[in-house]
Structure 1
Amino acid sequence: MQVFLVTMGSHGDVLPFVALGAELQGRGHAVRLAAPAPFAALADRAGLRFHPLGSPAEYDRMFGEPDFWHPRRGIHAAFAFNTAMTEPVFRWIEKDWRPAQGLVVASASSFGARVAQDRLGTPVVTVHVSPLLVESRSASPSLPGLSGSRFASSRLRHLAWRGADRLVVDPAALPRLNAFRAMLGLPPVGRLRHWWNSPLGVILMFPGWYCPPQPDWLSQIRQVGFPVADRLGDEEALDPDLLAFLEAGEPPLAFTYGSTMRHGAAFFEAALQICRRMGRRGILLSRREEQVPPNLPPDVVHVRYAPFGALLPRCVALVHHGGVGTVMHAFAAGIPQLVSPLAFDQFDGAERVERLGVGKRLSRGAFDPARAERRLRGLLSSGAVRAACRLAQLRMAGRNGVPEACDEIERLAGSIGLAGSSRSEL
């Protein structure tokens, strides 16, 4: 069976699709991956045939845009890239897809895949890696940057989301998307967050204990576990210098603001001060040297990248932005989390961390060394937090949503009669 994987976004968005591709290829399927151009090396390490979307310069401009990290204006910056990739994704599928031989597995923001489904009849399976992308009146996710929304009822939040769709989300995405659809003779999309779900199947890559299933979810939704894919990252093992640092003293605090953040200097300066105030060692994770304070003391180190699966179990706590992949790895490590969300699904991630009792939230505007120190001291001294972290760790142990999602992809392929849709048919 041919499987076309398509995704947009950052390292945390692309890595689960690389893991899906590696698993499906290991089952004997012919896999191709389309993703932003900077992830070519990641796909190559996984042995996947890769199709670049955009250029590295275009990708860098998107994440370098200051508005990208604004909780409301960021949606325009993100959709500018995603909608620009609609036609390239469609043409890639149109050129190589063959009826009755394969299907497309796509992220919600891979609009060209859904256009191909509408225009060509291509079977598409939608994959959501974050609960933010799933509508529900009974358990509506938190809205990015809307102060107080986490304290509102689910119904009020759902109504607020409908307003955000009408005033922010749809105006950012639909004009360019619908212009391309008109060129193909397709009717316009009326509401993006409804249309981006494939009627064939939707896979949610987060477990029920993190986001409980809801009675008003779409009938084609199937929920699996988190996509544990750290072994497919830039490196599989800890750098020897980092390993020596970890073994030379007490477990450190770890700090990250995400793989694509371009404006994190204030965060890492605060991180250094937090370590000093608490008398603790620290690890500052950032791919960009210029964000990190110069002349760090010996007990605080800067690391460009480290696999979380190997690093975080050796740390005492994680301070981060709230991306779902980072949240997942802190769960697996069984350590407390202090979350300072910036945009997109990070506010929802912060709320879920608090709800599960494994961490606290501190807004970007309130994030300073004194407040962060108080939050961290409270987390590290709490028996209830330790118990909640241990429970999350136990829930993570031995479960990986990647094989589960591939089982579902094969099941859906079999339901529409695709040749070679399961390992037993290969």
Structure 2
Amino acid sequence: MAHFAFLCPPYASHVRTFEALGEELVRRGHRATFFLNAGAGGLVRAPWAGVAEAPLRPGDPHASKVLKNATRPGGLFGAMRTIRDGAKLTAQLLAAGPELLGALRVDAIVGDQLEPASGLLAAHLRLPFVSLACALPINPAPGVPLPFLDWPYDPSAKGLEKAQGAERIGNLLLRPHFRVIEDWSRRHGLSGFRTLADCLSPTAQISQVTRGFDFPRPEPIPFEAVGPIRPPSDGDLDQPLPFEPDGKRPLVFATMGTLQGGRLHVFKAIARACRAAGAELVVAHGGLLNPRRAASIGADHVFDLLPQRALLRRADLCISHAGLNTTLDCLEAGVPQIVRPIAFDQKGATARLLTRGLGERMMPLWNRRALARQVDRVLADAALRARCRAAAAEIAGAGGVRQAGDIAEQALAAARV
């Protein structure tokens, strides 16, 4: 039996992915403990999971503040604020990590690609280390734009030059994070660590994207593309829906995720378009709208939360923010998508959806007729639906959480030889 430490940013979607992997490892006889930022322990729901929080130091952001900021990402200034918060969160984990992980007597670390403290602490403590990409992979590759850009894949000389220019700008924006990485690694005698990519595992990396969804990358790709990582005992697929679809109209599911679900104007525009297209609409707003505002959407059904994977088995179309977990759930179910990216890696997910022909970008909200025609068109597009079914078949064979569990165990076994 081994004891795995899980490190990830304080976002519910990331914690859910790690919980799925943890349940699989616990099923195999291991232990798993989350090491999270101050105030993030409440995000963990799994009864089997241990939870340890780094102490809150003067000037550190509390996890609740980080989550609140993430609901209003707000362009360049919002991105810079997110980067500054991320750098402080990494510094917080690094300050407490050596002593706390030593006291926990962990045998290996599984770290989110977006939390460089995992790679630095693994190197410092000489622990086996697995990187997990809950979001789009940050691994650089020729012609592959940064995850937060909605650019298409372009391996031409012009495309490569453009991508390299964007990477230079991205590195400038990430300087607060790079300083934390450089300072801590220098103080602890580690070399070769400067960027987030430098902090990835050199031997074992896992990604939720599949090869057919991601942009092309040169072989060998540095990560194992296992597809969506969902709990091995996930009852979500079998949960009954809190409503009964009428079966006479196409069923459309609309969500803006757990952070952006308060965007009432978006849901209202979607509801108008679905009524005009003769579709039945169900909305999940993540609890970010009060009952009065939720009732004003004009959808057929409105809920805080829904068993998303079970619903997508019945849905004909999903309209979303292109969050990666929602995008992957749609692909798993073979459901076409209309997306309106807002922040983080949602633009990168949108670019992949468009490149692979698995959905469309949402028409402008003010253009009611165009949006209604788009809903009609996507619902009627048999070729699009066939491509989505092919994506579902690829996900079914990618390995998922069991393959991810195998990789974690193999990394541990290799280190013990």
TM range (shorter): 0.7 to 0.9
| SS in structure 2 of the partner of residue 388 of structure 1 | helix
Matched, 1:402 2:401: yes
Contact 1:142–1:157 (8 Å) recurs in 2: no
Structure-1 residue corresponding to 2:166: 161
**C-alpha displacement of 1:110:** 1.9
- One-letter identity of the residue aligned with 2:223: I
d(CA) in 1 for partners of 2:54, 2:237: 26
Structure-1 residue corresponding to 2:134: 129
Within-5 A mapping of 1:376-395 = 376-395=375-394
Q: Deviations over 1:214-257 (max 9, x none)?
A: 22666x53332321349659x67646xx5334357634211111
d(CA) in 1 for partners of 2:85, 2:232: 26
Matched, 1:61 2:65: yes
Within-5 A mapping of 1:94-105 = 94-97=99-102, 102-105=107-110
Matched, 1:338 2:341: no
| SS in structure 2 of the partner of residue 243 of structure 1 | coil
Q: How many residues align?
A: 407
CA RMSD of aligned residues (A): 3.3
Matched, 1:201 2:204: yes
d(CA) in 2 for partners of 1:232, 1:37: 28
Matched, 1:18 2:19: yes
Matched, 1:32 2:33: yes
Contact 1:230–1:308 (8 Å) recurs in 2: no
Q: 5+ residue gaps in structure 2?
A: none
- TM-score, normalised via structure 1 length: 0.83
**C-alpha displacement of 1:349:** 0.9
| SS in structure 2 of the partner of residue 283 of structure 1 | strand
- One-letter identity of the residue aligned with 1:75: A
**C-alpha displacement of 1:312:** 0.9
Contact 2:282–2:302 (8 Å) recurs in 1: yes
Structure-2 residue corresponding to 1:302: 302
Structure-1 residue corresponding to 2:213: 210
- One-letter identity of the residue aligned with 2:177: A
**C-alpha displacement of 1:313:** 1.4
d(CA) in 2 for partners of 1:31, 1:151: 38
Within-5 A mapping of 1:17-416 = 17-35=18-36, 40=41, 43-52=44-53, 58-65=62-69, 68-70=72-74, 72-90=76-94, 91-97=96-102, 102-137=107-142, 139-141=143-145, 144-145=148-149, 149-150=151-152, 152=154, 153=156, 154-169=159-174, 171-181=175-185, 183-184=187-188, 189-190=193-194, 192-211=195-214, 214-215=217-218, 221-229=223-231, 238=239, 242-246=241-245, 250-261=249-260, 263-287=262-286, 288-290=288-290, 293-296=293-296, 300-362=300-362, 368-397=367-396, 399-416=398-415
1:332–1:299 Cα change, 3 Å: same
d(CA) in 2 for partners of 1:96, 1:306: 36
Identity of aligned residues (%): 19
1:37–1:328 Cα change, 3 Å: farther
1:313–1:58 Cα change, 3 Å: same
**C-alpha displacement of 1:389:** 2.0
Q: 5+ residue gaps in structure 1?
A: 419-426
Q: Deviations over 1:256-294 (max 9, x none)?
A: 111112651221121222222223221111121249845
Matched, 1:6 2:7: yes
Bigger Cα displacement from structure 2, 208-217 vs 155-164: 208-217
- One-letter identity of the residue aligned with 1:327: T
d(CA) in 2 for partners of 1:96, 1:404: 26
**C-alpha displacement of 1:298:** 7.9
Contact 2:23–2:231 (8 Å) recurs in 1: no
1:99–1:290 Cα change, 3 Å: closer
Contact 2:316–2:335 (8 Å) recurs in 1: yes
